[in-house]
Amino acid sequence: MERIIRPQRGMIAVNFAELWRYRELFGFLAWRDILLRYKQTYLGVTWVVLQPILTTVVFTVLFGRFAKFPSHGAPYPVLTFVALIPWQFFSNTLAESSNSMVASARIISRIYFPRLIIPASVVASGFVEAAISFVVLAIFMVVYRVTPRPELLLLPVFLVGTFLVSFAVGAWFSALNVKYRDVRYIVPFVTRLGMYVTPVPFLWMDVVPERWRLWYCLNPLVAMIDGFRWCVLGPNFTPYWPGFALSLGVGLVLLVTGLMYFRNTEKTFADIV
Amino acid sequence: MVVISARGLGKEYKLGAQVHDTLRDQITALFRGRRRPSAEKFWALRDVDFDVEEGDCVGIVGRNGAGKSTLLKILSQITEPTEGEIRIRGRVASVLEVGTGFHSELTGRENAFLNGAILGMTRAEITRKFDQIAAFAEMDAFLDTPVKHYSSGMTTRLAFSVAAHLDPEILIIDEVLAVGDAAFQKKCLGRMNEVARAGRTVLFVSHNMSAVTALCTRGLYLEHGRVKAAGTIEEIAEIYLQDALPADGQTGFRRGKTRGSGQIIFTDAAVGSETLSGSVVCGSGMKIWFKYEATRPGLAAHFVVNIFDRQQTRLMSLDSLTAGNLPQIFSQKGEVTMELSPEFALTPGRYLLELSALVHSEVTDHVPGAVEFEVKDGDFFGNGRKSCNTSALMIKTQWSVQGVD
């Protein structure tokens, strides 16, 4: 086996074979991120459970009780909680994945591996929280008597989709952050603003006027949240397909461009980080 | 078989460029339609060609800024060359630092696994070797304690131990020997020797010439980003030490403004550590040697050797009459060697040697600035660290403490 190290010119594609070879390191880094996230927190896993439940309570009271948003027959807490899973996956991993390259500066300047696994492992560490959330979701479903439907089997697909959207944005931001440290200020803004344009505490089809619908679907998380609701709550919550397709398309574009931008700036990371 | 072959390798860096641009800079530049002044560039490495044969242990030497680290980073794929290429045959492990990725919150065991994975070991490999790693690091009681409670020595031992159990075909190491206490360092050197003897190819970068000569069979000498010499380690060490001599090329003895009766005169002189190479390594002792000629044999003479620093401060004055055990009567021609104890050393810098010969108390020859020599940084205390500072002298000491709480 001969390896050739030479300057790479032109567009650099994602080297999937190499990523596969480094899968163990990816696992180790994700494992480390999980360990570090919960070490030295007294509440630990309890916090992971408590946070979405409290948010759900507040949203249910505010939007379901006071503002009386329609719920189309579904229990409002389930409606909210199921949307919180993808949203929290995204927002909780975004800050860390955006900062991940800069935080790993030392490793990056000492050892080679495909850099993509750094933001990817951070985002992957969000699966633990998602798994815990699913347990809580099951409890919610039992309590509110939501019968599981065959669509529920599609839930993992949307979870992976949420991972990919989070990873796409994480790849963009983490690569940008190496060169432009402004990203640090942009990320909290994105998550805060995102909360308003992402249909977590309400059903957006009831809220957004018809002519704005497609614009609203430029948010790649819309497809994921609609998908989650559809899987758990059934045919009454079938996504608005044109919007769903658009949202999915935006996610895909973000992913491809994010990977490309990351790959093509990757070679300079060690020199400037 | 050639396992590493570099051709026309070059790496260009931008100098003084603001690397962490802010978006604001870029946006304002866009509106002003003005391009930022292009950064000054320099070649950290240029036109580098070399081959490494399978089983070779190559020491890469050179002074600060010669391009050693850049070469290592290119070899380990951390940074990309600007031009040229390297072909590598075999699995490479590079250890540019021990303990890469160590996290203080994680336990020793967790860190060992993580660090092993970062260095390229598989989970199965680490699991298999874990007991050996723990034994080599001389620790088992603290493996499940977070590293933040470790002493720095313990952390380093564990980190090195992980690195020492890598099993690649080509091993690239950067100065990692400069860690730990003297005993552990010996153990590390021994381990590296084992690796080299086992027929593995090793590339070793260090400032420490004695470590390089002890470990390596071949050398690659970089200067200003280019290959100055390549060959056996003995050849390279020779050239490297030669280059440490005064810049004007007058390596040895110089008779400038002399005075004296001429009954005895100096004809040659040199300074060195082990050899009279013209440079002294701090901590390796020091030798002063000179040759004299007298007008007749049997003169009752003595010699005075003075050492001055660049500011013309006389640091030492050593008289063979009071300090030495030389005979009082000298033959007509001869050579005198004086050894200074390694318990004491001059710190890195340039120095001048002044020689005087006296018969009774009459000066027969006085040669100021007879030899200019350099003292280089070294491991004075024998603990693996470059310990010299900018003071004038170093001396070995015994410290003790009595704490009162």
- A271/B86 CB distance under 8 A: no
At residue B17, does pLDDT exceed 60?
no
Dump pLDDT digits (tens) for B55-77.
899 999 887 778 998 999 999 99
Give the nearest partner residue to A109 out of B13, B78, B106, using CB atoms: B78
Q: How far are the Cα atoms of A3, A18, B125, B180, B201 from residue B167, in angstroms, in the given order?
A: 18, 20, 9, 22, 11
B7 and chain A in contact, CB less than 8 A: no
Which of A38, A75, A72 is closest to A56 using CA atoms? A75
Instruction: Check: CB of residue B274 under 8 Å from CB of residue B268.
Output: no
Dump pLDDT digits (tens) for A105-115.
989 988 999 99
Please state, in angstroms and rounded to a whole number, the distance separating the CA atoms of residues B270 and B275. Answer: 10
CATH number at residue B298: 2.70.50.60
A17 and chain B in contact, CB less than 8 A: no
Q: What is the pLDDT, as a whole number, of residue A172?
A: 95
The 3-state secondary structure of B124-166 reads HHHHHHHHHHHHHCCCCCCCCCEHHHCCHHHHHHHHHHHHHCC
Which alpha helices (DSSP H) does A9-125 contain, by range? 16-21, 23-38, 45-59, 76-103, 105-108, 117-124
Q: What is the pLDDT, as a whole number, of residue B397?
A: 85
Picking from A29, A31, A112 by the largest number of B CB atoms within 10 A of its own CB, the best residue to mutate is A112
The arithmetic mean of pLDDT across residues B349-374, rounded, is 89
Q: Domain ends where: B180, B211, B242?
A: B242
Element (H, E) at B11: strand B2-15
Question: In this predicted structure, which of A94-98, A127-131, B232-236, B385-389 has the lowest mean pLDDT?
Answer: B385-389
Question: Residues of B with CB below 8 A from A106's CB?
Answer: 100-101
Return the higher-pLDDT residue of A199 and B238. A199
Dump pLDDT digits (tens) for B345-361.
888 888 889 999 998 88
- B123/A24 CB distance under 8 A: yes
Q: Based on the domain organization, do B208 and B323 belong to the same domain?
A: no
Q: Based on the domain organization, do B317 and B383 belong to the same domain?
A: yes
Cα B358–chain centre separation: 40
Could you tell me how many residues make up chain B?
Answer: 405
B393, amino acid identity: L
Tell whether B249 is covered by a domain: no
The 3-state secondary structure of B383-399 reads CCCCCCCCCCEEECCCC
Which of A212, A272, A206, A267 is closest to A243 using CA atoms? A212
Tell whether B349 is covered by a domain: yes
- B76/A111 CB distance under 8 A: yes
How far is B121 from chain A, CA to nearest CA, in Å? 9
Q: Dihedral, CA atoms, A16, A21, A24, A26, nearest 10 degrees?
A: -30
When pLDDT is cut at 50, 70 and 90, the band that residue B33 belongs to is low
At residue B246, does pLDDT exceed 70?
no
Task: Name the token pair of A199.
Answer: 């249909």
Question: In this predicted structure, which of B103-107, B271-275, B302-306, B372-376 has the lowest mean pLDDT?
Answer: B271-275
Tell whether B401 is covered by a domain: no
Tell whether B382 is covered by a domain: yes
At residue A117, does pLDDT exceed 60?
yes
Strands (E), B342-402: 344-346, 349-359, 362-376, 393-395
Please state, in angstroms and rounded to a whole number, the distance separating the CA atoms of residues B359 and B355. Answer: 14
Question: Residues of B with CB below 8 A from A8's CB?
Answer: 80
Q: Based on the domain organization, do B19 and B85 belong to the same domain?
A: yes
Q: Tally the domains of chain B.
A: 2
Question: Residues of A with CB below 8 A from B24's CB?
Answer: 182
Could you tell me how many residues make up chain A?
Answer: 273
Question: Residues of B with CB below 8 A from A177's CB?
Answer: none
- B88/A2 CB distance under 8 A: yes
Q: Based on the domain organization, do B269 and B215 belong to the same domain?
A: no
Minimum Cα–Cα distance from B96: chain A residue = A110
Q: Based on the domain organization, do B284 and B220 belong to the same domain?
A: no
A209 and chain B in contact, CB less than 8 A: no
Q: What is the pLDDT, as a whole number, of residue B1?
A: 87
Which of A270, A262, A260, A219 is closest to A116 using CA atoms? A262
Minimum Cα–Cα distance from A34: chain B residue = B106
Q: Based on the domain organization, do B205 and B352 belong to the same domain?
A: no
Task: Name the token pair of A210.
Answer: 């018809």
Please state, in angstroms and rounded to a whole number, the distance separating the CA atoms of residues B114 and B99. Answer: 10
Return the higher-pLDDT residue of B1 and A259. A259
Q: Based on the domain organization, do B222 and B350 belong to the same domain?
A: no
- A272/B80 CB distance under 8 A: no
Range of the domain at B34: 2-242
Tell whether B329 is covered by a domain: yes
B201 and chain A in contact, CB less than 8 A: no
B34 and chain A in contact, CB less than 8 A: no
The arithmetic mean of pLDDT across residues A233-254, rounded, is 93
Minimum Cα–Cα distance from A38: chain B residue = B105
Which of A35, A41, A26, A104 is closest to B144 using CA atoms? A35
A28 and chain B in contact, CB less than 8 A: yes
Task: Name the token pair of B49.
Answer: 């060609």
Q: What is the pLDDT, as a whole number, of residue B26?
A: 67
Given phi > 0 = left and psi -120 to 50 = alpha, else beta, which region is A145? left
Tell whether B404 is covered by a domain: no
Cα B281–chain centre separation: 9
Question: Residues of A with CB below 8 A from B71's CB?
Answer: none
Tell whether B214 is covered by a domain: yes
Question: Residues of A with CB below 8 A from B26's CB?
Answer: 180
- A270/B78 CB distance under 8 A: yes
Q: Based on the domain organization, do B228 and B304 belong to the same domain?
A: no
Instruction: Check: CB of residue B163 under 8 Å from CB of residue B95.
Output: yes
Instruction: Check: CB of residue B103 under 8 Å from CB of residue B114.
Output: yes
Minimum Cα–Cα distance from B118: chain A residue = A25
At residue A54, does pLDDT exceed 90?
yes
Query: For chain B, how far is it from start to end, CA to CA, in angstroms?
Result: 65
Q: What is the pLDDT, as a whole number, of residue B181?
A: 65
Return the higher-pLDDT residue of B214 and B59. B59
- A36/B106 CB distance under 8 A: yes
Question: Residues of A with CB below 8 A from B171's CB?
Answer: none
When pLDDT is cut at 50, 70 and 90, the band that residue B206 belongs to is confident
Task: Name the token pair of B69.
Answer: 């680290």
Which residue shows structure tokens 């292009």? Answer: B38
CATH number at residue B99: 3.40.50.300
Question: In this predicted structure, which of A108-122, B150-164, B198-212 has the lowest mean pLDDT?
Answer: B198-212
When pLDDT is cut at 50, 70 and 90, the band that residue A37 belongs to is confident
Picking from A2, A4, A6 by the largest number of B CB atoms within 10 A of its own CB, the best residue to mutate is A6
Question: Residues of A with CB below 8 A from B106's CB?
Answer: 32, 35-36, 39
Tell whether B76 is covered by a domain: yes
Q: Based on the domain organization, do B35 and B180 belong to the same domain?
A: yes
To the nearest whole number, what is the mean pLDDT of chain B?
Answer: 83
* CA atoms within 13 Å, Cβ hemisphere of B387: 18
Portion 47-86 of B in contact with A at CB < 8 A: 73-86
The arithmetic mean of pLDDT across residues B320-325, rounded, is 78
A182 and chain B in contact, CB less than 8 A: yes
Give the nearest partner residue to A36 out of B26, B100, B105, using CB atoms: B105
At residue B247, does pLDDT exceed 50?
no
Dump pLDDT digits (tens) for A180-208.
888 888 999 999 998 888 998 888 888 88
- Give ipTM to 2 decimals: 0.85
Minimum Cα–Cα distance from A266: chain B residue = B79
Cα A27–chain centre separation: 18
Give the nearest partner residue to B80 out of A36, A181, A267, using CB atoms: A267
pTM of the entire predicted model: 0.73
Please state, in angstroms and rounded to a whole number, the distance separating the CA atoms of residues A191 and A108. Answer: 27
Close Cβ partners of A188 (under 8 Å, ≥ 6 residues apart)? A95
How far is A7 from chain B, CA to nearest CA, in Å? 5
How far is A5 from chain B, CA to nearest CA, in Å? 5
Please state, in angstroms and rounded to a whole number, the distance separating the CA atoms of residues A210 and A244. Answer: 15
Q: Based on the domain organization, do B384 and B338 belong to the same domain?
A: yes
Q: Based on the domain organization, do B103 and B72 belong to the same domain?
A: yes
Give the nearest partner residue to B83 out of A7, A27, A271, using CB atoms: A7
Which alpha helices (DSSP H) does B6-63 contain, by range? 23-32
Q: Based on the domain organization, do B44 and B156 belong to the same domain?
A: yes
Instruction: Check: CB of residue B177 under 8 Å from CB of residue B164.
Output: no
